[in-house]
Amino acid sequence: GIQVEQSPPDLILQEGANSTLRCNFSDSVNNLQWFHQNPWGQLINLFYIPSGTKQNGRLSATTVATERYSLLYISSSQTTDSGVYFCAVELWGTGRRALTFGSGTRLQVQP
């Protein structure tokens, strides 16, 4: 079946630190998106990134489709970065045009 694995499952940072979150997937991707879910449940789309590198402020993401992984970089972390980060993928060849979410990385940024 579709495999989407995220690491680490939990991460605690001091404010100002940098971090890298990883998403591994089991097949070629049509579609890969990174989301941040805040403590109130709101999911925010951070990146639509089936391949290549994108940057948005302190966040950047890289997907290496040929090696089946994606990385989300958070620099100079702030307490508002706390929450759960999900990677979601649509895998090529499944015929299923829908996202499957990884189990997430729970990030806590301490002041």
Partner 1 sequence: DTEVTQTPKHLVMGMTNKKSLKCEQHMGHRAMYWYKQKAKKPPELMFVYSYEKLSINESVPSRFSPECPNSSLLNLHLHALQPEDSALYLCASSQEQDSKQFFGPGTRLTVL
Say which residues have a Cβ less than 8 Å from residue 58's Cβ, sequence separation at least 6.
74, 75, 76, 77, 78
Query: Considering the rule CB under 8 A, would residue 33 count as an interface residue with partner 1?
Result: yes
Query: Considering the rule CB under 8 A, would residue 89 count as an interface residue with partner 1?
Result: no
Query: Considering the rule CB under 8 A, would residue 56 count as an interface residue with partner 1?
Result: no
Q: Shortest CA distance to 59 belongs to which of 41, 68, 47?
A: 47
Query: Considering the rule CB under 8 A, would residue 41 count as an interface residue with partner 1?
Result: yes
Query: Considering the rule CB under 8 A, would residue 73 count as an interface residue with partner 1?
Result: no
C-alpha triplet 7, 9, 10: angle, nearest 5°: 120
Residue in 99, 105, 107, 109 binding partner 1, rule: CB under 8 A: 99
- In the complex, the residues that contact partner 1 under the rule CB under 8 A are 30-31, 33, 35, 40-45, 48, 86, 90, 96-104
